[in-house]
Amino acid sequence: MSHDPFAPSKAPHSEVEHIKRSSNYLRGSLTSTLEDLISGSIPEDDNRLMKFHGSYMQDDRDLRNERHKQKLEPAYQFMLRVRAPGGIVTPEQWLMMDRIADQYANGSIRLTTRQSFQLHGVIKWKLKSTIKTINDTLLTTLAACGDVNRNVMCNPNPYQSEVHSEVYEWSQRLSDHLSPRTNAYHEIWLDGEKVIDSQEGGEEPIYGPVYLPRKFKIGVAVPPSNDVDVYSQDLGFIAIYENGQLQGFNVSVGGGMGMSYGDPKTYPQLARVIGFCSPEQIIDVAEKTVMIQRDYGDRSVRKHARFKYTIDDRGIEWFINELTKRLGWNLEEARPFQFQNNGDRYGWVKGSNGKWHLTLFIQNGRVADQEGYPLKTGLREIAKMHTGDFRLTANQNLIIGNVSSQKKRKIEEMVKAYRLKDGIQQSALRRNSMACVALPTCGLAMAESERYLPSLLEKLELILEDAGLREEEIVIRMTGCPNGCARPALGEIAFIGKAPGRYNLYMGAGFAGDRLNKLYRENIDEKEILDSLKPIIHRYAQERQEGEHFGDFVIRTGYVKEVHSGLDFHN
């Protein structure tokens, strides 16, 4: 028999694969674990499975040392992630999130970089009622995390193009089609009828009993906006339209942001556009792509299990052949399109349906009341009278969507009264910033991110103002570790946490999210960050060419090399 160089690896599977296989379609011992009243924690096996149900066990890292000294177990708590395909929710759903944040979690709502909600600080004994309440308003936490397709992202800006609602419908269908079918979620959280022993393969026609080797992410972009950072997605669809008519989608594959320090075999990667298909064909393309990753992804080394490595190890031609074989038809040649930016555009805009949409800047997606800026209260009061929708953007911001002309004035008054537009008055740098959650909840954080970026920005703003660049749009991103949750490899300026107070500084990504950045300085503290960036910013102010973005400038002037493939990210 001839040896197939592209065959799936025969190496022994990792522990997580065994946990999944023996979980009986994500049931494990979760039901009895949740009933255990002795500890606020859950065993590791169940924790692995919990992710598929949309929750992670965490502990408050601010309290870790103190509790350890007092010989107490860590302050265990759970993060809950709520999926909202394309980021769209109703005012009733917003009000429910607002209420359960106070009732069951730490009082704040986090809008994520994938247009979902997160709640932090839910204790084990409140998980079930929280999840039940979420489901009562027709939202779900199922598959918000875990080795499955995650929240499907879609450009949420209905005013940006007439085809938006059609494109959104397709992302919703993608999301539904790729949702796990197991009944475990209903049994465990919603007191659904128990299926004692599921038939091997029967319950999950797409995923099978061991699900995917790793998380899988899909984003749908509507040019000229690349707000969903389509090149960072495992699978991307880029809407192609002519004269307001949706023609279909270009397909892109193999993006991803995560890497591990000290392991050059891991790297952020840009997805590559491989062809075009009609709207009706995208479900088939997505399903077959997911199945290829299911069959070929690395199940022995989780660090190497993302789809980007499955493709890079075998080559893009291999993937296209495999996809064509499974589809039974060929993708057409990719159609021309152009992205202009990957950020959000703020303020009021009128959509093609005659309704109004207001994009608000929400710093790092954290919805909470602050002294003089009662954001959470203001949004709650608006939700009580709003008849349109709320839209979470891929940049952690919020759109109050589909406001009728009659309601616009009232909403504008409330926006003023609660100072909700204060965020929009911030510098262009801040309006284009994102930071991941990091400390105190994220167990993987090596440095602060959400809690630190705002104050670092204050210092950078002074430099920018001095250089006359307060209104210059520069995409800036920070994460507390190299997992890349705020898609830092696509920041024109980016900081990735190395250790408390220390970051790697990257520069040179494309303003439209179409080029990776490159390491410029390693393991530096705040003073070194400011000292490194100050001369570059001043030089940019003086020497930039007309319309030249910061990321392009640092490449032209030789600060960093241009990176179009993750394979060159570390070189």
Contact footprint for ligand SRM (CB under 6 A): 56, 58, 79, 81, 112-114, 116, 118, 144, 150-151, 217, 232, 256-258, 306, 365, 436-437, 441-444, 483-487
Residue 445 found at the interface with ligand SF4 (CB under 6 A): yes
Looking at this protein, which amino acid is placed at residue 47? N
437 binds ligand SF4 (CB under 6 A): yes
Q: Which is nearer to ligand SRM, 56 or 170 (CB)?
A: 56
Cβ neighbours of residue 526 closer than 8 Å, sequence gap 6 or more: 456, 459, 501
Number of residues that bind ligand SF4 (CB under 6 A): 13
Does 395 bind ligand SF4 (CB under 6 A)? Our answer is no
Q: CB-wise, 488 or 513, nearer to ligand SF4?
A: 488
Nearer to ligand SF4, 437 or 457 (CB): 437
CA 347 centroid distance within chain: 23
Catalytic residue among 145, 154, 277, 481: 481
E strand or H helix that includes residue 290: helix 282-296
Nearer to ligand SRM, 279 or 365 (CB): 365
Cα distance between residue 221 and residue 152, in whole Å: 11
Closest listed residue to residue 157, CA positions, set 410, 420, 414, 343:
343
Residue 81 annotated among the catalytic residues of the structure: yes
Which range binds ligand SF4 by CB under 6 A, 137-145, 328-336, 407-415, 443-451?
443-451
CB of 116 to ligand SF4, least distance (A): 13
Tell me the closest approach of the beta carbon of residue 412 to ligand SF4, in angstroms.
35
Contact of 434 with 486, CB cutoff 8 Å:
yes
* Contact flag: residue 116 with ligand SF4 (CB under 6 A): no
DSSP 447-482: S--TTTHHHHHHHHHHHHHHTT-TT----EEEESST
Report the DSSP beta bridge partners of residue 518: 507
Beta-carbon count within 10 A of 2 CB: 4
220 binds, among ligand SRM, ligand SF4, none (CB under 5 to 8 A by kind): none
CB 330 to ligand SRM: min, Å: 28
In the complex, the smallest distance separating the C-beta of residue 60 from ligand SRM, rounded to whole angstroms, is 10
Binding to ligand SF4 by residue 436, rule CB under 6 A? yes
Residues in the chain: 571
CB burial of 26-61 (b: ≥16 within 10 Å; e: otherwise) equals bbbebeebbeeeeebbbeebbbbbbbbbbbbbbbbb
Q: Does 149 bind ligand SF4 (CB under 6 A)?
A: no
Up-side HSE of residue 54: CA atoms within 13 Å toward CB? Answer: 32
Binding partner of 479, given ligand SF4, ligand SRM, none, CB within 5-8 angstroms per partner class: ligand SF4
Task: State the Cα–Cα distance between residues 57 and 54, nearest whole angstrom.
Answer: 10
What residues are annotated to the active site?
81, 150, 215, 217, 436, 442, 481, 485
Residues that bind ligand SF4 (CB under 6 A): 436-438, 442, 444-445, 449, 479-481, 483-485
